[in-house]
Amino acid sequence: MPSQERIAVLLPCYNEEATIAETVAGFRSALPGATVYVYDNNSSDRTCALAEAAGAVVRTERQQGKGHVVRRMFADIDADVYLMADGDLTYDPQSAPEMVALLLDGQYDMVVGTRRHEAKDAYRGGHVLGNKLFTGLLARLFGRTFNDIFSGYRIFSRRFVKSFPVLSSGFEIETEMSVHALELRMPVGEVETRYLARPEGSESKLSTYGDGWRILKTIGTLYRVERPALFFGSIAALLLIAALILSIPLITTYIDTGLVPRVPTAILVTGMTIVAVLCFFAGLILDTVTRGRREVRRLAYLSFDAPGRVA
């Protein structure tokens, strides 16, 4: 691993006093030359004091939510390689050198730590099912995906971090990162890593149904923003099909009698057809805008040096 690469370990935390000291120690041991940053998100326990005592640089972000913390970390920290993990001791620090080496050797922009849970308590069944469903949905909508889109254990290049807008506010941030990499056709990799059960006294902040709903909305929003032609085109197609089905009795009656007795239905069909046409052209117009935005984002992304390359 090139010695000149500056590595920053980023740990967003909220009430993790039971695990933060050991997490910091684990990453300092695995990556001796790295600087470990702990960003506290309004913890009411001793997270900050324990993290600082363990050798981390402690900073705070007052806006509640992981997305807000990630936005602050990415804006504040200047490094060549960024490692992001959680402060709950569920991600294995010993996988960090392999992930960093893969990022640098392959000149990747993101390496995802695909979780392999060995303990029954490490990963709830509902989360496993949800991960598989959302991973499959992402693959269908965007054409490609990762094996674990919700993993919070990731390594980034500088050009990924500085070109990533961070629009999410909560745990849906991992989904946004995945879509950002896929849409800009970034070189990415994956490394299988152990996913450990939380130690006693440490509680998960995740809500299976609440966070699942937020992630689903995020995927829908990203699909509308990144693929407007397909999004609005699908709505236009559904409306047009419904209008055609409703118009069949009107057409047959008119052929038989020369009359249109169902005036409200005729008005409804006309309105649905007009809306379908408007949706179709709205999709085409927004697709042109999206292509322009994507070009700007791509140019911003390419303005930074590739990982492992010295300017």
pLDDT tens sequence across 69-88: 999 999 999 999 999 999 98
Alpha-carbon span 169 to 69, nearest angstrom: 8
pLDDT for the residue numbered 2: 44
- pLDDT classification of 310: cutoffs 50, 70, 90: very low
pLDDT mean over 202-222? 74
What span, in angstroms and rounded, lies between the C-alpha atoms of 177 and 301?
A: 14
Helix (H, G, I), strand (E, B) or coil at 135: helix
Read off the pTM: 0.79
pLDDT score of 31 more than 60: yes
Instruction: Say if residues 72 and 43 touch (Cβ distance below 8 Å).
Output: no
- Determine the average pLDDT of the residues in 111-127: 68
| Average pLDDT, integer, range 126-136 | 72
Q: Output the six-digit token pair for 294.
A: 């994507």
Whether pLDDT at 308 is above 60: no
Q: State yes or no: pLDDT of 41 exceeds 80.
A: yes
How many whole angstroms separate alpha carbon 265 and alpha carbon 272? Answer: 10
What pLDDT, in 10s, does the model give residues 10-21? 999 999 999 999
For residue 231, pLDDT over 90 is answered with: yes
Backbone angles phi, psi at 192, to 5 degrees: -75, 135
Residue tagged 């991973």 (tokens):
135
Q: Higher pLDDT residue, 256 or 43?
A: 43
Chain centroid offset of residue 144 CA:
14
What is the reported pLDDT for 120? 52
Between CA 272 and CA 171 the distance in angstroms is 38
C-beta of residue 62 within 8 angstroms of C-beta of residue 90: no
Residue 111 has pLDDT above 90, yes or no: yes
Mean pLDDT, the chain, integer: 86
In this model, does residue 159 exceed pLDDT 80?
yes
Residue 174 has pLDDT above 80, yes or no: yes
Q: What is the pLDDT of residues 180-202, one digit of tens each?
A: 888 888 999 999 998 887 666 55
| % of the chain beyond a pLDDT of 90 | 51
Dist. CA 311–CA 301, nearest whole Å: 15
Higher pLDDT, 146 or 27: 27
Q: What is the pLDDT of residue 53?
A: 95
Give 204 or 99, the one with higher predicted confidence. Answer: 99
CA distance 153 to 115: 9
Q: Is the pLDDT of residue 177 over 50?
A: yes
Q: Which of 61-65, 124-128, 223-227, 265-269 shows the lowest mean pLDDT across its residues?
A: 124-128
